A and B are shown apart, each in its own frame.
Chain A
Amino acid sequence: MKPVDFELHRPATTDEAIALLAEHAAEAKVLAGGQSLLPLLNFRLARPDHLIDLGRIAGLAQLRRTQDELVVGAMVRQAQAERSPAVAAHAPLLAAAFPNIAHPPIRNRGTVGGSLAHADPAAELPAVARALDAVFVAAGPRGRREITSRDFFRANLMTDLEADELLVEIRFSRAAPHTGADFQEVGRRRGDFALVGAAAQVTVDDGLLSDVRICLTGVAQTPHRAVEAEDLLTGHAPDPALLARAADAIRDTIDPSGDLHATAGYRRDVAGVLMTRAVTGAHRRATETAAEAA
């Protein structure tokens, strides 16, 4: 339960980190918050020769607002974002997801960028990024590039990042007024990775749902955007009959696998149930926001 020996690098700037990554790409892993990587190292499932720790790069740990966006630096700690009024106001789904991530001590160390770059399909933040069409900014020896959330998640634990690229920030469009969000999941034990999760963010326009965003965890190799359910709900009030149809659409489109924790059939059913709860919760919060503003 101890990692193999490795050489640790602690760059002070993003450029330094990129140079180190270019030099050691094949034998290096990037250390962000370490809450997924260090267990893998302890188990010796990962045996990198070099570890590049981003912890000293102050510029990566900033949260900022622009005219249209909330920009989250890759090294922003989950606990820091969880407590940020800017995140609650401008990316309510991101705020709603944090309490579901593991336990508080993990969120004190875990970073937003680390979880996204790890790309576990059962994790919460990839589903949030996919639901909100977040833009991923990667930096590498060939400069910076933007990656859409659709392209970013390639497969289980695989992203579009090249071996010599670093995720530096994630951009979220600021939520419109009268927007609410909710995140629902089921797991065997508190704090475990969920069997299935549902992220929903909606905007309420004259009592009707607009800009409906739904994404599921744990039902595919990558976060699953439930486009069919989004289309069914858009422009309507979320009444039980319509939500039931949206849940059916989810059951018909997803193809989860079963394992010793839950069968595929259970995951398919519970995905629809969680979506219903999440959309209902998101709608309630959006309505409350609208009432407060009035």
Chain B
Amino acid sequence: MGSRHEIELVVNGEARRGTAPARTSLADFLRDTLGLTGTHLGCEHGVCGACTVLLDGAPVRSCIVLAVQADGHAVTTIEGVSGPDGRLSPVQEAFCQAHALQCGYCTSGMVLAAQALLDECPHPGRAEIDEALGGNICRCTGYVQIREAVEQAARAIGSAPAEPVAEEAVAHD
């Protein structure tokens, strides 16, 4: 019999916990234990990028990370990308505008990979976009509109008025 583990992590800003067998992938833990089914599983061996989530802000493939390895860390899934009122993020909005999806299966991974790129590099060139999204496979779009969506999101974020300072941040000042 394999071991079971208590796992505590922060998902989309919220502390979550659960127990899972050691062999449980982070993707299965998010989907089956926490009910966050926006993370999609494609190949389940780290090739297609559909299951991309952010682990401590950096994109990883949740099918080849064990849930226990995320214990004590912060995870962002597609459910955590939009605003609390359901308003789409600039990346999501740009994906709609640029027709950067058809069936949508790869889209959560694409959006998170794009978000991680823009967090680190607000004005990416095409080479940087291709590098950041090169590990995410899409069988519908032919990628051109996905690249356009990232460029459009970068422009939208660049021209947006500064975000109001969060109350929490003010309280710490």
- A6's partner among B23, B25, B113 (CB-CB below 8 A) is B23
Inter-chain contact A53/B68, CB cutoff 8 Å: yes
User: Is B59 a contact of A104 with CB atoms below 8 Å?
Assistant: yes
Interface residues of B in 59-73 (CB under 8 A from A): 59-61, 63-66, 68-69
Residues of A within 8 A of B63 (CB): 38, 42
Residues of B within 8 A of A103 (CB): 49, 134-135
Residue A55 CB within 8 A of the other chain: yes
Does A51 interact with chain B (Cβ within 8 Å)?
A: yes
> For B45, what are the chain A residues with a Cβ–Cβ distance below 8 Å?
1, 38-39, 42-43
User: Is A109 in contact with chain B by the CB < 8 A criterion?
Assistant: yes
Q: Is B134's CB under 8 angstroms from A109's CB?
A: no
- CB neighbours of B113 from chain A (8 A): 105
* Residues in B neighbouring A3, C-beta threshold 8 A: 23
Chain A residues with CB below 8 A from B55, complex form: 108-109
A2 at the interface (CB under 8 A from B): yes
Q: Which residue of A lies closest to B58 (CB)?
A: A108
A256–B101 Cα distance when bound, in Å, is 42
- Tell me, in angstroms, the Cα distance from A105 to B49 when the chains sit together: 9
Q: Is the CB of B49 within 8 A of A38?
A: no
Partner of A109 from B3, B5, B60, B132 at Cβ < 8 Å = B60
**Contact between chains at B69 and A55 (CB < 8 Å):** yes
Q: A43-B45, A105-B52, A106-B61 are contacts. A8–B135 as well, Cβ < 8 Å?
A: no
Interface residues contributed by chain B, number (CB under 8 Å): 31
* Distance to closest chain B CB from A154 (angstroms): 26
A31 shortest CB reach to chain B, Å: 8
* Contact residues in A for B65 (Cβ distance below 8 Å): 34, 38, 109
What is the distance, in angstroms, from A186's C-beta to the closest C-beta of chain B? 16
A51 contacts across to B, CB distance below 8 A: 22
Query: Is residue B131 within 8 Å, beta carbon to beta carbon, of the partner chain?
Result: yes
Residues in A1-22 with C-beta less than 8 Å from chain B: 1-8, 10
- The docked-state distance in angstroms from the alpha carbon of A10 to that of B69 is 9
Q: Could you say which residues of chain A place their CB within 8 Å of the CB of B61? A: 105-106, 109
For this complex, 21 residue pairs linking A to B, each with C-beta atoms less than 8 Å apart, are A5-B21, A5-B23, A7-B1, A7-B22, A8-B22, A8-B68, A10-B68, A31-B66, A34-B69, A39-B46, A42-B64, A43-B45, A53-B68, A53-B69, A103-B135, A104-B59, A105-B60, A106-B46, A108-B55, A191-B134, A191-B135
- Give the interface of B toward A (CB within 8 A): 1-3, 5, 21-23, 25, 28, 44-46, 49, 52, 55, 58-61, 63-66, 68-69, 113, 130-132, 134-135
For the complex of A and B, list the 10 residue pairs with the smallest distance between their C-beta atoms, beginning with the closest.
Answer: A103-B135, A5-B2, A8-B22, A38-B64, A39-B45, A1-B44, A3-B23, A105-B59, A7-B3, A108-B58
Known: A103-B135, A104-B132, A108-B60. 7 other contacts (CB 8 A): A2-B44, A6-B2, A34-B64, A35-B46, A42-B64, A106-B46, A109-B60
